[in-house]
Structure formats: C-alpha cells, structure tokens
Structure 1
Amino acid sequence: MPTKVAFVTPGSYPIPSSKSSSVERVVEKFVPLLAPYVEPRIYGRSSRYLSKISRVNDIVCERFPAADKALYARKVGMAIKRFSPALIQVENRPKMIPVLKRMHPGKPCWLNLHSTTFIGPRYISPAKLKQSLRKADKIIVNSEFIRSEVARRAPEAAAKIRVVYPGVDTLRFVSQHSEEGARRREDMRRLKGLTGRKVVMFIGRLIPLKGVHHLLRIAPELSRRHPELLVVVVGSPFYGSHRTTAYARKLVRLGHRSSGNVRFVPYVPHSDVPDWFLVSDVAVVPSGGREAFGLVNVEAMASGVPVVATEAGGMKEIIVPGETGFLVRPERIEEELLERLDLLLRDKPLRDWMGMNSRALVERKFTWLHTARRWLEVFHEDVFHPLSIDSPWQEDV
C-alpha cells in the first residue's frame, strides 16, 4: 500500500477556493499528482460553502474551523491520529511544527515554507523560530532565496533544507504562440476592448510589496512614447474582495496622470487569470526584495509573454535575462523598467521570441508535474522506498 502523508494547510482560505492565495493553490495543484506513489490527505480550514470532508481532485480533504488557532491545531492533530500517516507536512506555518510533534511523537514532520512572512519577527520570535526549525525533520522551500533566508536565520537547519519549485498548469495557461492560444487571444482582446493596444499587464495584490506604483509612475512617459499603450492593473488589496486601502487609492491617483492609458480591473478569481495574461504583450512583476518566487512570473511565461521583473527574491531563479524577459535592479527600478518596456514595446519580433522561450522554459522546469516529481525525490531520500523507474509520468517531467 502507498505510504500515507498528511498535508496541513493552516492558511487563510479553504481548499479549493476561488479566493485562495498561492499557498492553497500550490497544495491543491501538486498534492493530487503524488498519488499513487503516496496516499495524501489534505487538512485545511472550513468554509460554509464546503462540507467537512470532501474530495479535491480525488484526494480526501478534511476541514476544521480555524478562528481559534490552538483549537484548530488540536482538531487537526486528532484527525491526523485517525489517518495515521507516516509523514506530516505543514504548509507555511512553523508555529504548528512543535504542536504536531508533541501530538505525534517520533513521527517525521516537515515544514514547507512559501514565503518569508511567517519566519519574520512580526509572526514568530527568533527563539521560537529556531525551536520550530529544529523540530522540523525537513524544510522544503520554494526558491534558493528562501533557502538562504532560512539558513541565515538558523544556520543549524541548513542541512535539512530542500528546494521544490512551484509550477503552473500548462493546459489552463495556453501560449499565445500556439494555434489555439492565438485564436483565443484575438477573441479575448476584442471582447475586452484591447484591439490595437500594446498591453502591459500587472496582476497581483495592490500592496506596497508588489511595487505596482513604480509601473504607474513611468506610465506617463511610456505612453508618450507609445500612444497605443494600455497598462492594465488587475487586482485588489485583498483576496476575493473589492475593499480598498489608502495605498490602492494612491495608485488610482497615479493612474489618472496617464488618463486613457491605464485601466484598473478589480480582483478577479484565479480562473480568469489565464485570459488576462493571454491578451498581454508584456507582464511586469516589480515586487520588492521579499518576493519568494511569484507564481505570476511562471503563469505569464506559460502564456508566452515576456516578463520584466525586479532582480529580487526568488525571481532571479525564474527569468533568464535577455532570453525570457529582463530583470531590473531595485535601486534603479523605474529608470530600467522604462528602458526595458520601451524596448519590448518597439520590437514585436523580440517579444515573440522571448515569449516562446518563456513557454519552453516553463515546460522544461516549472510545471506541477515537475513540482510533484521533485517532492517525491525529497520524500525518498531517507527511510522511504525509492521511486519506481516505471513511473507513468516520469518522461513528462
């Protein structure tokens, strides 16, 4: 029988959820691909729209109220006892590691970190963090950037860290350079009123970390050089909500400086994101230095779109400068962003070449099958049996 593995997702959203952040989306997408090599079970927070137990892509998902974090941890821990897995993996919440280790003495417990948020002092003290990392039997991270951050804060944990990159669904994110993608792109551009426009796309939360203000500050000069430009900003400050903030209102004011060349689109569910990237000419990801990976990078690349991103965080590990897009230095972000976007908007053959390179790189390295395969390699490093070479999807990843 396959080895049982419990995946604990104590984040802000249930699985599945149209509102979910990247943490929940990663679990929803790659965990089902682990069967039949392991028998996974997902534990997450409850929702009034979902039953306590159901199947997500044929994987059992148990849900519990999460308003009281301590009670949530105990209930999940008791449910895990009933499942009796050989391994427990906690997603992005190091504080839960000591709790589950106490409830399941002697059982391997892994921590999967998706960002630096929950290893920072606002969430956990340095002493508690070291305790949690010490008790974790293995630490999975989504980039070399996070690996270095964890090793810097807890050097004694460095030997336990493994990098497993997230991925993208290449069936949902169709390349605009394929026959199907080109046809759909024209249909969607017509439907969204984008025919004849050069579309620069930002998709993400409207928070300072994501850096969209840099893009809007250069929009007046960029639109002067390219009158047919349209900067499209898709997103809101909060997942699944159109609530605004002072920062979001500031962005709207910046957009007014380029009237007719900037369009704001409030939060859209993730199911709509492929169409927005498909209608783009260039994607911009001007995030700050704490961006661990940025799924929007590989989603844009899968759509055959070149990406101009900040040379920060884990994005340096995704984009190949001069081949799939460009990286701009944080200390000169607006100057270099303007230069790179100007170049790409002037040169359609370059955009197309980079877009095709982007799609090819995703297919080689950044699919959910790659994620599952790498996780299984980590899983089989220790006491577990090696993965059979007869894996039915081995050649596809």
Structure 2
Amino acid sequence: MGPEDLLRRLAPQVLGAVVRRYGHFDLAEDATQEALVAAATQWPADGVPDDPRAWLITVASRRLTDLLRAEQARRRREDRVARWALPEDWLAPAADRTGPASDDTLILLFMCCHPALSPASQIALTLRAVGGLTTAEIARAFLVPEATMTRRVSRAKQTVKASGVPFALPSGEARGERLGAVLHVLYLIFNEGYVGTAGPSLQRTDLADEAIRLTRMVHRLLPGDGEVAGLLALMLLTDARRAARTAPDGGLVPMAEQDRGRWNAAHIAEGIALVTAALPRGHTGPYQLQAAIAAVHDEAPSAAETDWPQIAALYGLLLRISDNPVVRLNHAVAVAMAEGPRAGLELLDALAGEGRLGADHRFHAARAHLLEMTGEQPAAREAYLTAAGLTANLQQQRFLHSKADGVAG
C-alpha cells in the first residue's frame, strides 16, 4: 500500500478519533486535513512512522489545540483541551485495535448523512470527511465551481455543528434510519460515477471507485447487515461491465451489444457470492433485490440468453417494497423483454403521468426502444429525440441521436 492509499485509509479514523475526544467537527476536519498535508510532505523524506495513525492523531490534535486557541470566545474550552493527554488506546497500533477506529469511521458516516442536511450536502461532506477527497476534486466530479462546493461543504459542517448531534452511534430505530441514509448517499455517489448526469464522459470512474471503497468499509464494519452486503454486491455487479460500456471514441455501448468477455469476472464472482449469502438471511431489502437482478444479467452468457422472466419477477418483488416510478419503468422494460413490447408499452403508458418521470430521458428512451421493436418508426424516432433533449450527458445524447437516425434510415 502506497503512502497516498495509506493516508486515504487513515483519514476517517484520525478525524473520527479527534472528533470523538474533542468535539468541534468543523475545526477537527481542518486540523486532520493539515495533518494529512504534513504527512504527505514529511513522510517521503523522513519515512513512514512505525505507527502512522498515532502520528497523524498527535499532529491533528496539536493543530486543533492551535485552532481553538485562536478562538478567543472559546478560550476556557481551549485551556481544558490543551491539558488533555491522548488516551493510550489511541496510540496503540491499528492492528491491535478492534473497536474505536472502526466505530469512529462509521460514526463519521452517520454524521455526514445527518437528516438535517440535503442529499447534495450529505454527498459532499461524505466525500470530504470520510473519502478524503479535496474540495477541488469533489467540485470537478460534480462539474461545479470550487467556490460553490466550498460553500456547500462549509454550510454542511456548520449545520452538523449547530445540530448538536453527539459523536456517537444513534440507537434503536434512529440507527436503522441513519444507516439507510448512509447507504442511499453511497448509492447516489456510485450512480453519478456510473453515468454522469452531465458532461462529456459517460462514466466518472473515480466516483464509482470511491463509492465501492466506502461501501466495502461499511461492509467490514457491519458484516451481518444484508442490505449493506446487497449494496456492495449491486455496485460490483454493475461496475463489472465498466470496460465494455464505452467504445474507443468514448461512446455508449448498450448492454445487449457489449463484449461480455471484457466484463470483470472477479467483480461478478464477488458480487454473486455476497448477494447469495445475504438473501437467505432475514429481511430482504431493495439493494439485495437489485443485486439479484444485476446477477441474472451478469450470469447470462449472451444478451439473447438473459432470463427476462426471472428479472421481471424480481422487479415485481421489488415493487412490493420499493414502489417508485423508476422501479416501475424498469419492471415495464423487463416485462416487454419477457412477454413482448406491447405488454411493456401498456405499462409505460400507465406511467406517463408519474410526476417527474415524463421529464426523465430514461422513460422516453425505453419507450422509443419498445416502439422500434413494434415497427412504429416515426413514433420511435420522436421518442429517441425527446430522450436526447432531456439528458445533459453528451455521450448519452450522441447515442440517442444515433438511434433516432438509425430509425429514420
């Protein structure tokens, strides 16, 4: 493991340890970042310390004391902090510790996904505090100016601070709700990486990789949670197709036309093992069902051999526990592939008035495909063009325009 990877792994542990002991999430985050910068500067010349985690905690704690000392309104608290000594268990090698480091990382995720924050702020704060990304990196990933992302992260930290939430895992029902928010944020980060909502590239692999890394972390901390395992399986099974999803010119290659020999066999095997182990245990949640659907796709030797009746049945189960327009859209497509395009179009027509779905390019692209299958060329072309006009991703626009041209020809 290189120094950069080591720092990324240790960053949430160090921040969590400092926040747990001293509080001041916003200042602790600044102090931790400064400790990481110091390590990145000093370690290449001086060598990595025997216990890099303890080194970082010590430097971050000293920097936090300096920051607190600079705040005159908090002088009495600063005096108390300056007298505190680091507990011995902080300085123990990470390999000898089974509790606080892991707990602190999970608590950080819960804090970053606090319900007082908007989803956009939850994502930004998670990538900053737990993922270790710089504000500039997050801004580039989401195609916004760095100043905009700086304000978003700053507001998020202030909101967490003002909420007075203690640095501890929520208990009872609140813990389950907050874990749901954590998984949703990781899911959103992955989706943005898998298909960017805007910009010239179809995928943003750095975001997809980060979402998988963070979800692996949560799975290590909560190995018995079926939905955590399901989400990790879903990401791996979906990301397994990455190399085959784009043509040499960067254009989109639909699943039916992908070279399945380029799919990541290791990801597929791991994802299938995860979902196979999770499904028989207790309550079956939406991430497990979505992972099962992805597994059916990935196990098919070819597009023609895809078990569409099974996929349609799994979407039917998913509708019972997560009935939303996007799931209905996917169910309609699966029914069309299993029973014929007319059956799918009937379901899509019933969805036409579903809230924002009419403004979603995926609805019109699916409808266009089914219309093309029935031979209704003019209507299919119109639907492809409508879909192209509703996406800001340039590669999706190119693909949909080419489909429209193909229908016209």
The TM tier, using the shorter chain, reads under 0.3
Query: Under a length normalisation based on structure 2, what TM-score does the superposition of the two structures give?
Result: 0.26
Structure 1-normalised TM-score?
0.27
Q: Which has the larger radius of gyration?
A: 2
Q: Going by fraction, where is strand more abundant, 1 or 2?
A: 1
Greater relative CO (CA pairs within 8 A, separation 6+): 1
